[in-house]
Amino acid sequence: MKLATKRIAMGGEGGQGVQSAADILAEAAYEEGKEALYIPNFGIEQRGGVSLAFVQIGDEPAGSPKFKQADFVVALSGRSLERLIGFLWEDTIILYDSAWLAPPTVSDQVVGWQSYDTTAPDFFAERGVTDRRQKFPEIKQKVKNIFALPASEIAMEKLHPRVSNVIILGATARLTGVVQLESIKKALENRLASKIKRDPNLKILNFNALELGWEAGERMLKSPAYSAAT
């Protein structure tokens, strides 16, 4: 069965690892013999500016290097999601880091599945981060679903703060179905080869992050009402 081209838009702040995640996703697709196209989009600021990445993966070459509608949108910050709102359409699925973005206020007219995945307020109350979460931008365009994953909190508590983007990467791969977990592991290992040579524990750390994200994505697929915090 051929894989129809999936159009994935990812956004965050500079330094959150958006470009690394997008690049690894595209390389994983190459590992499986798929067609993949990755285009970065960011300002001159390495940190502090909005960083966007656009990836297309399928069995056929992408018709154009750019696209107007995304099948899947990943948002690691409010500013980046605001920049990606123009790419939403009725089949778009949104995945956001709920450690940095507060739950959205949505209606049946906006979310096609009449439900969205969110994190219980007490999850953040216990951790004291509720006040610093950014407001979820208003979405007027109908979308298929909105999923929440507190990747930054999970990374900080279970692994290391710097692998939150890898958790998001694992969830993205599972929710989109564009590549297999082993392919992402191989692509990630290739990218970090020199660092892993100096510190073999980095491989274990990043693989654990991928698996946590993949497992969260698996649970989301089974239940649109699933909360990644439970």
- Higher-confidence residue: 167 or 2? 167
- Span 3-16, mean pLDDT? 91
Is the pLDDT at 65 greater than 70? The verdict is yes
Is residue 85 within 8 Å of residue 137, measured between CB atoms?
yes
In the structure, what pLDDT confidence band is assigned to residue 113 with cuts at 50, 70 and 90? low
Most confident listed range (54-63, 136-145, 180-189): 180-189
Ramachandran quadrant class, 26 (left: phi over 0; alpha: psi -120 to 50; beta: rest) = alpha
Residues near 201 by beta carbon (within 8 Å), at least 6 away in sequence: none
Distance, in Å, from the CA atom of 142 to the CA atom of 50, rounded to the nearest integer, reads: 24
- Span 110-120, mean pLDDT? 54
Distance, in Å, from the CA atom of 158 to the CA atom of 161, rounded to the nearest integer, reads: 9
In the structure, what pLDDT confidence band is assigned to residue 124 with cuts at 50, 70 and 90? very low
Locate the domains of the chain by residue range: 6-222
Candidates 2.70.70.10, 3.10.20.740, 3.40.920.10, 3.30.420.40; CATH matching 6-222: 3.40.920.10
